[in-house]
Amino acid sequence: MIRTFVALDLPEPVQQSLEAFAAPLRQGDYPVRWIPVERIHLTLKFLGNVPSERIGSMAQALSQAVSDLPPFALQPAGCGAFPSIKKMRVVWVGVRGDLEALKALQKKVEGALAPLGFPPEDRPFRAHLTIGRVKGSRNLKGLQQALLAGQSFEGVAFDVSQVVLYKSDLKPDGARYTPLHRIPLGSTGTTI
């Protein structure tokens, strides 16, 4: 079984802008496990444990689904926490740009995988970049204030030109992600 998900990669300049934003937060004495920037991605669909022999058909279905979608642009912007800043469990950076294209892409991903036994999510899609996971409740007031002050954050814009089918390996120091297939938008084919 392979733990899998579908996501958008972030180019290195975007990662660097997220690192610049998160660096002061990481220095605070907050009960947060910060995600290394090279592991940050925009999840489109979490699939869970999948038999390895199904990966190829999943990649093919995704390729067919996104073959008619043109690339589009996004930009990290703003920040917040789920479920709320007062009761935070996940610290995130938001995205702006062509959100309609992003929603269309996410719906295509859902639609492609539903016939393969992966039902659509019950809750609405909320595009975000998880930068940290809260592991306690002490000293969160300072983090709440920092997130409120960071609402005007704007990261580096980037072009979305592919989706990635990832393998996720859970480790004691956090998950490790390995691309299984890179699926370009606007074409028919996958790459590794």
Read off the pLDDT of residues 45-104 as tens digits, 9 standing for 90 and up.
999 999 999 999 999 999 999 999 999 999 999 999 999 999 999 999 999 999 999 999
pTM above threshold 0.75: yes
The answer to the question of residue 192 being in a domain is no
**Close Cβ partners of 97 (under 8 Å, ≥ 6 residues apart):** 72, 73, 74, 75, 157
Torsion of CA 103, 107, 112, 117, to 10 degrees: 130
Set 9, 35, 41, 50: catalytic member: 41
pLDDT for the residue numbered 189:
53
166-192 pLDDT per residue, tens = 999 887 777 789 999 999 998 655 555
The answer to the question of residue 190 being in a domain is no
> Rounded to the nearest 5°, which phi and psi values hold at 114?
-60, -45
- Which residue type, as a one-letter code, is found at position 150? G
The answer to the question of residue 154 being in a domain is yes
The number of domains in the chain is: 1
Domain of residue 95: give its range.
2-184
The answer to the question of residue 125 being in a domain is yes
pLDDT for the residue numbered 122:
87
pLDDT for the residue numbered 174:
72
**Residue 124, domain CATH:** 3.90.1140.10
The answer to the question of residue 140 being in a domain is yes
> What is the number of H-type helices and E-type strands within the chain?
4, 9
**Close Cβ partners of 4 (under 8 Å, ≥ 6 residues apart):** 47, 48, 49, 50, 55, 58, 165, 166, 167, 168, 180
Set 109, 110, 113, 128: catalytic member: 128
The answer to the question of residue 55 being in a domain is yes
The answer to the question of residue 36 being in a domain is yes
- Cα 192 from Cα 190, distance rounded (Å): 7
181 flagged as catalytic: no
The answer to the question of residue 10 being in a domain is yes
pLDDT for the residue numbered 105:
97
- Cα 42 from Cα 130, distance rounded (Å): 8
